[in-house]
Structure 1
């Protein structure tokens, strides 16, 4: 969480010393950050405010780079001079003055953790409260017998012995070794020194003799014989002393053997009386997969293990080894490993030319897992090679090179590595003891695997299912748990489970999780700034999100949302519209007023809100080429034997409420199937029965929202490949030829032409320890990335650095006579990215912008008319007007015969599709079915579809506007 304190505390605040307290609004004067043009604005406090406008108009520049940056800077200034000496001063945003600023919390999409240990449960603190609940109110069960564990006080044990073994001859034992190997010579010496004369070894009582030891290679159970007594009431004191002595020497555990030779176990701690196993007292970290006290030792708390399997090493058993049947070896070459393999095969009556499926299983096992018999090969070709060594096996060889110092070898081994569920903890991440503490017959791992909706239902009426003791302990914890689970339900995340890794969430989901956490903190008088929280949210769940934001506002906070969603704008208290265009054409306040007044304006945004403008529904839907791609029997995650039929040559939309199975069906089943078919990808798809129609397409391209790079060195020019052509152009200039400059001279990633102070980054990273790193312009090159000599070479008066600083729109004019360069830049312009600069750091691009850079890159390539495109919510970050441009690009692609499949919630995109596939009916386990397939009109008439209900309203509204 990034938080920023707006004011520095004064000893005795008054209205004169702290005028901000009396402000009913946040007043901004002269904001010039990025493309903002002397923006002055008054934003009402304690209201829900939407900042909207065309993509690139300056929304983020105002919300994050001006308001949030100033709040963060003031927070830094509240630190002591000593602390600021380590941090350094933060640069003030380019603004004259901001009054009325509260402490600021920014909830962005780009702050998602990539750590596999960060889960929905840990981030929202729900899992932390569950750990506390199980540590205090959980009941332990034996993992051996399944019976309830017991713990007894010293008095209870003595009383039990007197009652149960009355008049019997009893041996009281202190177990010191259980199921371990060793000779234990020193232990026996130590026991003798303590004054004991007998021990029980593996069930047999023996006299302690000097130099006594046992077989070091066998496992042993050893107990000290503490006392041998006939149990009578008068000997209670002696029995109590013996029990105390046994507890002392065996750390709170003792055993007794009666005159029939039967043994019973007792413990101060949790113990299974039948098997004798005991557990430590539970603590919250007993249930933490991030702690050595709770994590499964096999997978270290990750729930998954890396495994080199037989199937990955032998993908095609019909091939022989000489033809590359063992993938890591490749085809036969005259090298030592093939000689060793040949010797093993020969010894087992097979050869290198035998198809692998015909090699006996036992022989194949020797090849993969090793042979204990030395492999002798007589050869003069390999002098110095020890042929009489044991063969370790192909799989063992790969495992030994997993942690190689060579990146290339590690990547090679990864090609044959599969990630599978941990066999010891079944993916629950915890050790077996932790998974045997239960509440209402459920262990913590089972609760963490439930979706939030089911978890909320499980907590309903839990008190009636608990004992009186448990209820007393759990009362306060249950109150906190229900409250936090309620916040997750409020923001439409009922389909997620607590064990879901944070890195697998979309930007919108991660943002809503942080929003739910913030609502839970119950802070007041805070300024929250959110970046498109409606991303990835179905229209049905959008209502919940808006209510959650209003709740945050009603606590006494100001909520500023950068958003394009129509419902969010109309439900807000105040709208700020920035425009009129993008980049240099934007940066002005078009309107700042409540929605009722705003919709009466004559602006692009207002026209879309009041119905003056709309994206038209096509008069005729495409029927496609007549061919279909069919996926049958998909059962991964929550999919329930789904049969998907996609008409080719169409614009297809996959819709459904959040968590209904869209990603499982498309990203994790269909896409890996297509990649495996066309590119021999090893990514394993989720389970399915069969796929038909692959012969009608020739390649698949997925355009998702993952970043185009994680460092400032990545930018649109490098990603699209246009920078290679630009560098080649500069290398051909007369000045470059005179100086002998090659294209590499104009790269900021290699030595020669770049600035060596920042190594071509243009920025220097200042590590802030407990705060996010700060990037400051390089003091040598002033952010230009190159040295003086390189910058002296100019094309049409512009250096290579000037070209990187150009917007895409400017570059289209600048390179008008360079066809090879122009084609790639024009596609960036076509997808609505005319406002970004060619050299803009990848880390500053939103998910939607990164996706459109990828889309432009694919569009600039030559298509075949049989390409299958998969787009994941391409409307992210797009204004109504930009969606219109994007649809025109998609229309061109489909017009050439290609198929475009779009996963989308935006009704403007859904209503113009040729064919819809709607999943549901709900999210999570209540989803995973195809509710309807057909045209938008077909779906709008489907009463079972949540999408259809909203689509019907949208189609009717569009029809009225005509």
Structure 2
């Protein structure tokens, strides 16, 4: 075995057919093939699974319980395997608090920079923060109204985990008789035992005093003691006579190190956590660090912090005249320019320069990955799968690891062809550092740029799982057996130029017009969509496509046609709704999060299949109705597993396992129900059929075939009819939804006048599948519907009746319609970046 290869022998995971293959190490390798051919089974379910399993097995038994246990892949052996890092499109567990800055760790370095090298200004008056003397502290307190009740506190612990018994003991030794813990005051002897895993704030009560004439000496001594015990910090809790009437207490912080010379406002501490919106010490108290609040059923920004998520003290700190909230709002490309030109003061240069260097590295990686139009405060949960993957890719490049196997799942998703060069450069940088980069991809430019190309197929499901061709892109291009090679060579095309311009059909007689869209970077955009046509909206990443189509137009249609309450992006007006009956957004969100949901249930085919079984001779003799054949209700299902087909097995210090039910052995139905057969197959057999075979089985059962056939048409014939929905990719879920709409259209003689909006429907599709998808979209249009797609694939662009190109750039450089017309007309537009790719055959 060569040390320069990863050697796989006998891979049989899922549909792989005993695959033997040698993959070159430290090269850019692309694995491609039609949907369902076995690409992901080879890359992720075999290579990644084995690499992770080997890593977890190297840990102690105790440590393993904290990791998800992966099954050993069905493979004889893998040699030459490197440590693996997966950069896929899954959203993971990102919460509204996760941002581009936190995911890339750029924000962590920003917080450190502002805490250690920032210029402090007063949040109340804007004056510079300077040191405050004990005498100044006393004078400020004395200026409070007479009869004010005051409690002087010395902070000992601020928001840190632990029992902190030593802090309580410190109060006792100092001779103080009270302590305030997490806002509650206790006699020292009654101080509660603290939960060690929770954050706590502990303050010694130095004195309780009422401000009146003659109290000055006592106040001066108490201030001195509080500052001594509080390490220069004093917390004043006070209640003026007016406050007493209102029933409230106020607090003020004094700090002999940080205080405003004009108004006396103090800052308790300046630490990195001061700039964190994930802790109460940095988060805006009004929105709890989320940057937005709910009002009148709607969410768009918190008035207290202006959407910055931070407290006033954090926003008041400056580096080169800019607050941290201003930096994170900038597009990454602008923030990069700011830090490249940053010249720290001489006394702070040793501290600032290494921090700035790390920030610049991460921002450079984001720009090179093609997402320089994003801002660091952009929520991670608002990113598309492709954007999130490229953000995570930037983090991977920034880690500086060497000798690692990186596996990426379609990193070009969401990228305009014009952005591919930067992505390829980023992958090349990763590979040049001494890593293996293995990419599951369908993009033609990515395949042509690969060092090694592997084509899996030849078909999907049971007809796939073999290595059809491997070698350099030129070698695969010349392989007659490779479908991928046929597209790379031009022997086959997604859209043949000989078919002419798709728009040569009858011109549109009606238009839907949206005017004055201004969300995000949109510049008073006026959008006109021809009804009854296939329209494609394209443009470089960040040009404003989703802002215009999804967040503005789709939201407007939902409100105007269906009474939705959530507001979309602002616009001036909309015309042409009289010719539209309903609007449907077919996106990539999951069709169901439960294993009980599957393609058959989603499109409605399972209801009809159960009726077929209810009409069989045995079922009629026993008086069984369609409900008998449902795994969701009692009667026909296996009650041992309640129709799930698997039971949970507790493994003590190992993660729980799901094993096939011992009673039904995974069939999900009880024995007598399984005795009912249709053409020799019981209900469990039917659910385990691939959709292609199910369509053949029910070819003469019109109600079932009508609903299953669209699943075949959209290229999902390789899926099992009863495959759990939570195992489907985003692209597969989107096509299931599209098939459901096709089935509904074919059953409704009054179908038509529906406005369909699709967001990148070619995600996860090979060129052969895209050719079929275009046919499906055409069926919807031929039925009298309007189809509007956001798409970058040139084949879909060329097959459209109407093309809208946005840009010309991303972020601030985009936000307007550069060209609109037939594909041929847009191809002639000199300002359109897309025009170059429209002029080439696809």
Please indicate the TM-score interval, normalised by the length of the shorter structure: 0.7 to 0.9
What is the distance in 2 between the residues matched to 1:453 and 1:910?
A: 29
Which structure 1 residue ranges, 5 or more long, are not aligned?
Answer: 1-19, 162-170, 188-192, 195-211, 215-219, 229-238, 256-264, 310-416
Contact kept in structure 1, 2:152 and 2:223, CA below 8 Å: no
**1:948 equivalent in structure 2:** 835
**2:332 equivalent in structure 1:** 452
**2:279 equivalent in structure 1:** 291
**1:490 equivalent in structure 2:** 368
Aligned pair in 2 of structure 1 residues 276, 185: CA closer, same or farther (>3 Å)?
A: closer
Contact kept in structure 1, 2:5 and 2:24, CA below 8 Å: yes
Contact kept in structure 1, 2:687 and 2:720, CA below 8 Å: yes
What is the distance in 2 between the residues matched to 1:470 and 1:870?
A: 53
Contact kept in structure 2, 1:172 and 1:246, CA below 8 Å: no
**1:226 equivalent in structure 2:** 217
Structure 2 residue 759 is the aligned partner of structure 1 residue 878: no
Contact kept in structure 1, 2:292 and 2:299, CA below 8 Å: yes
Give secondary structure in 2 for the equivalent of 1:442: coil
Q: 1:721 aligns with which of 573, 581, 604?
A: 604
What is the distance in 2 between the residues matched to 1:629 and 1:768?
A: 59
Contact kept in structure 1, 2:62 and 2:653, CA below 8 Å: no
- Residue deviations 1:858-892 (CA, integer Å, cap 9, x gap): 01113633221111111111111111111111122
Please state how far the C-alpha of 1:572 moved relative to its aligned partner: 0.3
Please state how far the C-alpha of 1:798 moved relative to its aligned partner: 1.5
Q: TM-score, with normalisation over the residues of structure 2?
A: 0.85
What is the distance in 2 between the residues matched to 1:267 and 1:95?
A: 65
What is the distance in 2 between the residues matched to 1:766 and 1:538?
A: 47
Structure 2 residue 125 is the aligned partner of structure 1 residue 145: yes
**2:352 equivalent in structure 1:** 474
Structure 2 residue 585 is the aligned partner of structure 1 residue 619: no
Contact kept in structure 2, 1:716 and 1:840, CA below 8 Å: yes
Contact kept in structure 2, 1:175 and 1:222, CA below 8 Å: no
What is the distance in 1 between the residues matched to 2:776 and 2:652?
A: 45
Give secondary structure in 2 for the equivalent of 1:870: strand
Q: 1:604 aligns with which of 461, 483, 489?
A: 483
Give secondary structure in 1 for the equivalent of 2:348: helix
Structure 2 residue 403 is the aligned partner of structure 1 residue 423: no
What is the distance in 1 between the residues matched to 2:265 and 2:585?
A: 53
Contact kept in structure 2, 1:173 and 1:225, CA below 8 Å: no
Structure 2 residue 639 is the aligned partner of structure 1 residue 659: no
Give secondary structure in 2 for the equivalent of 1:760: coil
Please state how far the C-alpha of 1:926 moved relative to its aligned partner: 1.5
Q: 1:824 aligns with which of 699, 707, 729?
A: 707
Aligned pair in 2 of structure 1 residues 797, 427: CA closer, same or farther (>3 Å)?
A: same
**1:563 equivalent in structure 2:** 441
**1:506 equivalent in structure 2:** 384
Give secondary structure in 1 for the equivalent of 2:519: coil
Contact kept in structure 2, 1:532 and 1:562, CA below 8 Å: yes
Give secondary structure in 2 for the equivalent of 1:916: strand
What is the distance in 2 between the residues matched to 1:629 and 1:596?
A: 46
1:787-806 to 2 correspondence within 5 Å?
A: 787-806=670-689
What is the distance in 2 between the residues matched to 1:916 and 1:580?
A: 33
Please state how far the C-alpha of 1:722 moved relative to its aligned partner: 1.2
What is the distance in 1 between the residues matched to 2:314 and 2:647?
A: 46
What is the distance in 2 between the residues matched to 1:67 and 1:772?
A: 22
Give secondary structure in 2 for the equivalent of 1:820: helix
- Residue deviations 1:454-502 (CA, integer Å, cap 9, x gap): 1112212111xx3222322111100000001111111101111111111
Please state how far the C-alpha of 1:273 moved relative to its aligned partner: 2.1
Aligned pair in 2 of structure 1 residues 719, 557: CA closer, same or farther (>3 Å)?
A: same
Contact kept in structure 1, 2:46 and 2:75, CA below 8 Å: yes
Please state how far the C-alpha of 1:786 moved relative to its aligned partner: 2.5
Contact kept in structure 2, 1:112 and 1:503, CA below 8 Å: no
Q: 2:80 aligns with which of 75, 80, 100?
A: 100
Give the total of aligned pairs: 764
Q: Which has the larger radius of gyration?
A: 1
What is the distance in 2 between the residues matched to 1:439 and 1:431?
A: 17
Structure 2 residue 703 is the aligned partner of structure 1 residue 703: no
Aligned pair in 2 of structure 1 residues 842, 172: CA closer, same or farther (>3 Å)?
A: closer
Contact kept in structure 2, 1:176 and 1:222, CA below 8 Å: no
Structure 2 residue 746 is the aligned partner of structure 1 residue 848: no
Structure 2 residue 564 is the aligned partner of structure 1 residue 584: no
RMSD of the alignment, in Å? Answer: 3.1
**2:270 equivalent in structure 1:** 282
Q: 2:801 aligns with which of 906, 914, 932?
A: 914
Please state how far the C-alpha of 1:585 moved relative to its aligned partner: 1.2
Aligned pair in 2 of structure 1 residues 906, 669: CA closer, same or farther (>3 Å)?
A: same
**1:55 equivalent in structure 2:** 35
Which structure 2 residue ranges, 5 or more long, are not aligned?
Answer: 154-174, 177-207, 236-252
**1:923 equivalent in structure 2:** 810
What is the distance in 1 between the residues matched to 2:681 and 2:143?
A: 80
What is the distance in 1 between the residues matched to 2:834 and 2:214?
A: 69
What is the distance in 2 between the residues matched to 1:567 and 1:247?
A: 66
Contact kept in structure 1, 2:510 and 2:576, CA below 8 Å: yes
Contact kept in structure 2, 1:58 and 1:587, CA below 8 Å: yes
Please state how far the C-alpha of 1:827 moved relative to its aligned partner: 0.7
What is the distance in 1 between the residues matched to 2:634 and 2:685?
A: 20
What is the distance in 1 between the residues matched to 2:138 and 2:94?
A: 55
Aligned pair in 2 of structure 1 residues 610, 799: CA closer, same or farther (>3 Å)?
A: same
Please state how far the C-alpha of 1:564 moved relative to its aligned partner: 0.5
1:35-46 to 2 correspondence within 5 Å?
A: 35-46=15-26
Contact kept in structure 2, 1:112 and 1:502, CA below 8 Å: no
What is the distance in 2 between the residues matched to 1:907 and 1:34?
A: 32
Please state how far the C-alpha of 1:95 moved relative to its aligned partner: 1.4
Please state how far the C-alpha of 1:27 moved relative to its aligned partner: 1.2
Give secondary structure in 1 for the equivalent of 2:695: helix
Contact kept in structure 1, 2:64 and 2:654, CA below 8 Å: no
Aligned pair in 2 of structure 1 residues 917, 770: CA closer, same or farther (>3 Å)?
A: farther
Give secondary structure in 1 for the equivalent of 2:744: coil
What is the distance in 1 between the residues matched to 2:836 and 2:655?
A: 44
Please state how far the C-alpha of 1:704 moved relative to its aligned partner: 0.8
- Residue deviations 1:299-334 (CA, integer Å, cap 9, x gap): 111111122x3xxxxxxxxxxxxxxxxxxxxxxxxx
What is the distance in 2 between the residues matched to 1:83 and 1:806?
A: 40
1:511-590 to 2 correspondence within 5 Å?
A: 511-590=389-468
What is the distance in 1 between the residues matched to 2:7 and 2:445?
A: 26
Give secondary structure in 2 for the equivalent of 1:51: strand
Q: 1:898 aligns with which of 766, 775, 785?
A: 785
Contact kept in structure 1, 2:803 and 2:826, CA below 8 Å: yes
**1:676 equivalent in structure 2:** 559
Give secondary structure in 2 for the equivalent of 1:533: coil
Please state how far the C-alpha of 1:932 moved relative to its aligned partner: 0.8
- Residue deviations 1:130-150 (CA, integer Å, cap 9, x gap): 111111111221122111111
Give secondary structure in 1 for the equivalent of 2:835: helix
What is the distance in 2 between the residues matched to 1:570 and 1:790?
A: 53
**2:752 equivalent in structure 1:** 865
- Residue deviations 1:249-269 (CA, integer Å, cap 9, x gap): 8974799xxxxxxxxx98412
- Residue deviations 1:70-92 (CA, integer Å, cap 9, x gap): 22222222122454578797432
- Residue deviations 1:186-235 (CA, integer Å, cap 9, x gap): 99xxxxx99xxxxxxxxxxxxxxxxx987xxxxx899951389xxxxxxx
Contact kept in structure 1, 2:146 and 2:212, CA below 8 Å: yes
**2:697 equivalent in structure 1:** 814
Please state how far the C-alpha of 1:637 moved relative to its aligned partner: 1.0
Contact kept in structure 2, 1:23 and 1:100, CA below 8 Å: yes
**2:202 equivalent in structure 1:** none
Aligned pair in 2 of structure 1 residues 912, 732: CA closer, same or farther (>3 Å)?
A: same
What is the distance in 2 between the residues matched to 1:767 and 1:922?
A: 54
Please state how far the C-alpha of 1:820 moved relative to its aligned partner: 0.8
Which has the higher relative contact order, 1 or 2, with Cα contacts under 8 A spaced 6 or more apart? 2
Contact kept in structure 2, 1:172 and 1:226, CA below 8 Å: no
Please state how far the C-alpha of 1:294 moved relative to its aligned partner: 0.9
Task: Tell me whether 77-86 or 824-833 shows the greater mean CA deviation.
Answer: 77-86
What is the distance in 2 between the residues matched to 1:867 and 1:252?
A: 69
